[in-house]
Amino acid sequence: MSLVFIGSYLGFKKPAMEGPVGTNKIPRRIPEKPWYTNPAFSILIGGILPFGAVFIELFFILTSIWLHKFYYIFGILFVVFVILILTCALITIVLCYLQLCGEDYQWWWRSYLTSGSSALYLFLYATFYFFAKLQITKAVSIMLYFGYMLIASYVFVLTGTIGFYACFWFTRLIYCSVKID
């Protein structure tokens, strides 16, 4: 039996998630935002820190893959992975908190895109690495490199899931402590 069917069965049987507080049927108007809570700014800034956490290891990984060097420090790679998870969660929580303080309640997609935007920085770095370090001239090899880097960037978009779940946990935590009379 395929895991897709098992997962869909379990998901269908699981009750829907409910918010900790009730919501109004009529959406409130969102007030004017300061410049630092602009969605484009917060999404681009939110991707820099997770990318910065893995920047050095990314250089070594790209060197080992494309320049035929050995990569042998997997213990440090695990530590960097944990730092990546923590950085994604914390930067997204901070930016979500700033957004909620500005009475902007539409945090769902922005929390995903904030830490998921690090995939853009990964692809930009891979492009820089291609022109700075590699001497690939054949069209098929260039397509192969950028195809693999697009796949790696797509995998890095999954850091958005880390940010979303961290924000979801954070908002549930802060709204559970609110007393509504």
Average of per-residue pLDDT across 2-28: 82
Give residue 73's pLDDT. Answer: 82
Contact 116, 160 (CB under 8 A): yes
Residue 181 has pLDDT above 60, yes or no: no
Rounded-to-10 torsion of CA 107, 109, 114, 119: 170
Q: Is the pLDDT of residue 175 over 80?
A: yes
Q: What is the pLDDT of residue 25?
A: 78
- 92 pLDDT band (50/70/90 cuts)? very high
With cut-offs at 50, 70 and 90, classify the pLDDT of residue 104. confident
pLDDT at 2 (0 to 100): 84
Cα 43 to Cα 3, 24, 179: the distances in Å are 34, 27, 31
Q: How far apart are the two ends of the chain, measured CA to CA in Å?
A: 50
Closest CA to 146 of 166, 128, 169: 128
Per-residue pLDDT of 107-162, as tens digits, reads: 889 999 999 999 999 999 999 999 999 988 899 999 999 999 999 999 888 899 99
Cα–Cα distance, 117 to 63 (Å, whole number): 23
Over range 15-21, report the average pLDDT: 74
Q: If DSSP codes are grouped into helix, strand and coil, which group holds residue 9?
A: helix
pLDDT of residue 145: 94
Query: What pTM value is reported for the model?
Result: 0.84
Average pLDDT over the chain reads 89
